[in-house]
Every structure is written in structure tokens, then in C-alpha cells.
Amino acid sequence: MDRLLQGVQIRINEKLFLKDPESSSLGRRIIEFSIQLIDEIGFESFTFKKLGKEIGSNESSIYRYFENKHKLLLYLTSWYWGWMEYQLVFATNSIRNPQEKLMKAIFIMTKTIKEDSAFSHINEVLLNNIVINEYSKSYLTKEVDVENKEGYYIIYKRLVSRLGEMISEVDPNYKYPTSLASTILENGLHQHFLKEHFPSLTDCNSKVTPTQYLTHLVFNTLNNTIDE
Amino acid sequence: MDRLLQGVQIRINEKLFLKDPESSSLGRRIIEFSIQLIDEIGFESFTFKKLGKEIGSNESSIYRYFENKHKLLLYLTSWYWGWMEYQLVFATNSIRNPQEKLMKAIFIMTKTIKEDSAFSHINEVLLNNIVINEYSKSYLTKEVDVENKEGYYIIYKRLVSRLGEMISEVDPNYKYPTSLASTILENGLHQHFLKEHFPSLTDCNSKVTPTQYLTHLVFNTLNNTIDE
DNA sequence: TAGAATATGATAGTATTACTATTATATTTG
DNA sequence: CAAATATAATAGTAATACTATCATATTCTA
């Protein structure tokens, strides 16, 4: 996949930035080091001033790329979901069997990211950590409805929709394909978090993955006779 | 239940406060109005200064009850889960049939709270909103491991454990009772959030409740023959 | 290649936040 | 009634989340 990705750019809503960070080396450094710094100190402690220090640049220069750190987080997580979508489509496109297709999709959406490969300045392992630990904060705000209208969550919504369609292909009579799709994505992240911080709240551990749990959950739910 | 609850106090970890807010009228006003204010303006914008203004008291007085707003959020959400646990135990205690018991439990944990009844100074409807919109922020922090050791999440953990046991009673062979229990609690909140802000990401709406979705999910998963 | 345009850096300034400390004034209790 | 305790008022600090201005560096283009 590596080589293919060199020709691919993940398209992010232009309202999320003031100046495209992909358009300059400073921009790419902002992305690269913001991922590192947010992963390291957490989103609450992260500031543009600290980031400036880290990259040997100035707070004011970073503000020329992003209005505030919330927009930066939306940019980073949009990128992550765009990257996920790319992998999903790429890996499932040629699979005809709906069961197999859905299984592959669940695997891609819930697996642990282990290698940083595709894009030079983006560390996907750290970005995955950020999504696990910070993504909810990007929508659990009072501004969520306005920002949703602005299209800030569009990639994530498209992903859920794609997953939902795959679920319906496996079981056209299942009544909650969209909810189940969002459960896979959201609870996938959550099980990874629990594994790390609340092992007593999950059966996932070094032997059992969130992927296994969710795959089992989904396939036991679909094509089942119990109703209501 | 109303009258019974008048004699019940929900026990919160004493490290979460400097002075027990239940011990004075100012303390109870802090609780009452912090629920209103957090619900109204969101946790990010909420400050002790604004709360002080709201209750005609002083910022410095509030700091004598709670170290900071994060501890206050932990207090409020602990109270909420304690109240849930009380309802859960109370309502399921006498049910012998494991299926029926689990069904009741899922209902209690995922239903929409419609009435503010039990405790004079705590509005359970607003508190439920706060849990939906803010609970994740209480553990998605860099301090989570330390705070977990301090016992700040103990009530929630007990709840998951109780639910997990009920799941195992329905299907002793099911391999992921704890993960499923945490999925019910966490995704229950999430489906309520989606219903409100991202209707396209859920099948829940004014006709279909998160309770129905999750009940269907759980009972189709348990006592099933598909394995691995 | 000069001159204009643009990008970046440095510095300063503001309102707000998240507190801590001190002192004064109520209120409760013994 | 005095002493203890709770609350209120005020002030102060360091950090945050910016905005504004001006200087300097880089690059683009005629």
C-alpha cells in the first residue's frame, strides 16, 4: 500500500484551516509535531505556544494555519478517518462475499495500528492514540450542531454510512444497521481505551482484541431469528 | 420509589471533595446550580466564578468544597452512577428469571430520564444530559490511571461488574460479558447523543429508543450457536 | 536582478481562567 | 457570651487564548 499512498492526498474540509498545512514545510511540521505533542501531554495541556517552542517556530505563525487547537484536533481526526476510509474502500472493494467483506471492514476499523508507514510527516500510531483518547472531545461540545452543519464531521459520517451498508448487505432485515455501524466505530475505540486503563471493564487484553469481541458481537447479531 | 429515597444517601468517594456538599445548604446549592449551569453552558465554559455569581456566593467559597471543576464533575457523575446502581439493584433484586432480569437492567441503564423526582436539589433529567455530554471527559485525561487508583471510578466499575454478572447468568458460555456490559453503558449514552446531534448516525429516533436497539443487540448475541 | 508580494518571527498587549492568600464579617456552638 | 467555624470580599499570580503590529526573511515575477 505504501507506494500507492504517496500519490494520495486525504481531502480535509477547507474551513478547518486558515492556510493549508500541506502547502508548506512549516505547515507539515505543525501537523507532525502537534501529533507528537498531543499524544505526549494530552489535548488539555497542549497549547500553540508549547507547539511553537517544540518546532522552533512562533505561536503567531501557527495561528496563521489554525484558528485554535480545537480546529487542529478536528483537522487531525478528519485526516485519520479519511485515512481509515481509504483503507476500508481499498481493502474491501474486491470482496464479493458480504460476510467476508464486513469481517474485513470490522478488522480494519478496530485493529490496533502498529506501524507508521504511509505518510512521511504523519505518525499513524500516535494519531490512532489521539483518536482513542481525544476524539470524543471534538464533538462533545456546545458548538457541535453548528460545526456539524459546517461539514466538519463529514468523513466520519461517510464511514459510518459505508459500514452500515455493508451490514445491511449481510442481513437486509436487520433493523439497526446504522446504530450498529456507529457502535463498531465508537466502541472499538472505547474497548482499546479500556484495555489500556480499565482492564477490569473489558474482556479485551493482550490475547483478546477489540476486533474479536466486535466481530463476534456483529455476526451473532445478524441473520438471527430472535425478534423484538 | 420517591419516599424510600428520602432515607437513602448516595455515598461518594470522600477524596472527591474537600468538604461534603451534602453537609450544608451552600454545598447543596453548589450541587444544584452546578448541574444547571454545566447543562446550560457546557463543561468547558463552566467556571467556579460563574457558578458563584449564579448562586450569589463567592468563588473562594466554592473552592472550599471542591478543588477544581474536574473533581466536581467526578462528584456529579459518581452520584449519577450511584443513583443508577441503586435503581438497578432495587428493580432487579426480586426478579428470578435471568432473561427478564437482564432485560430490566438494560432498560434501567439506557432509558431516557424524564422526571426529576428523587432528590430535592438534584435534577436527574439535567444530570442525565450532563452524563451523556460530559462523562467521557472525566476519564479521557492524562491523570486517569492515578485517579482510577484513587477510586474515583469505583461506582461505575461496580455497575459494569453487576451488569456483566447478569449477562453471564443468561449465557454462562458467552466469552465477553464484561465488554458487553461496558458497551451497554457507554454506547447507551452515545446513542442518546447521536439521536440528538447526529440523527444520520443512528437508527434511534422518537420512535426507536437506544434501549430497544441495545436490548435487541444483547439478546441476539447471547445464547447463540455461532462461535469464533 | 530589483522590487513586490508573501511568509514567518518577535514582541507586546488583553481578557479570562484557575487558582492561592489574606482579611473581614457572619453564623453556629459550647 | 466567647470561641470556633463558615462564608464573603478583595487582591494577586501565572498561564491561556488569543489579537495586533512591526520587522525580517524568502519567493516570485516583470
pLDDT tens-digit profile, chain A (228 residues): 445 555 678 999 999 999 999 999 999 999 999 999 999 999 999 999 999 999 999 999 999 999 999 999 999 999 999 999 999 999 999 999 999 999 999 999 999 998 767 677 899 999 999 999 999 999 999 999 999 999 999 999 999 999 999 999 999 999 999 999 999 999 999 999 999 999 999 999 999 999 999 999 999 999 765 544
Which pLDDT score, from 0 to 100, does residue A228 have? 42
User: CB A172: neighbour CB atoms within 10 A?
Assistant: 11
CB pairs under 8 A between A and B: 138
Query: Is-contact A22 A109, C-beta < 8 A?
Result: no
Q: What would the grid cell of residue A214 be?
A: 466486535
Q: Which of A137, A141, A221 sits opposite B220 (nearest CB)?
A: A221
CA distance B134 to chain A (A): 7
Which pLDDT score, from 0 to 100, does residue A114 have? 87
With an 8 Å Cβ cutoff, are B217 and A177 in contact? no
CA A45 to C1' C7, in angstroms, rounded, equals 28
Q: What would the grid cell of residue A143 be?
A: 458548538
> In chain C, which nucleotides are within 7 Å of a protein Cβ?
7-12, 16-22
Which pLDDT score, from 0 to 100, does residue B157 have? 98
> Of residues 11 to 50 in chain B, which lie within 7 A of strand C by their beta carbon?
45, 47-50
Which pLDDT score, from 0 to 100, does residue B228 have? 41
**A41 to chain B: nearest residue by CA?**
B142
With an 8 Å Cβ cutoff, are B141 and A42 in contact? yes
- How far is Cα B67 from Cα B25, in angstroms, rounded to an integer? 19
Residues of chain A neighbouring B140 (CB-CB closer than 8 A)? 133-134, 136-137, 193
- How far is Cα A72 from Cα A109, in angstroms, rounded to an integer? 23
Nucleic acid strand C within 7 Å of A224 CB? no
Q: For residue A85, what are the contacts with CB-CB under 8 A and spacing of at least 6?
A: A155, A158, A159, A162
Residues of chain A neighbouring B137 (CB-CB closer than 8 A)? 136-137, 140
Nucleotide with the nearest C1' to A60 CA? C9
Residues of chain B neighbouring A198 (CB-CB closer than 8 A)? 139, 148, 153, 157
Of B215, B199, B207, B194, whose CA–CA distance to B133 is shortest? B194
Q: Report DSSP state, residue B115.
A: -
- Buried b / exposed e across A127-160, counting CB within 10 Å, b at 16+? bbbbbbbbbbbbbbbeebeebbeeebbebbbebb
With an 8 Å Cβ cutoff, are A179 and B198 in contact? no
Which pLDDT score, from 0 to 100, does residue A120 have? 74
For helices A177-197 and A98-110, what crossing angle results, to 10°? 40
Q: Which of A153, A187, A221 sits opposite B186 (nearest CB)?
A: A187
CA A106 to C1' C18, in angstroms, rounded, equals 43
With an 8 Å Cβ cutoff, are A203 and B136 in contact? no
Low-confidence ranges of chain B (pLDDT < 70): 1-7, 116, 118, 224-228
Q: Which of A178, A200, A224 sits opposite B203 (nearest CB)?
A: A178
B2-221 fold: Tetracycline Repressor; domain 2 (1.10.357)
Residues of chain B neighbouring A203 (CB-CB closer than 8 A)? 175-179
Which pLDDT score, from 0 to 100, does residue B227 have? 44
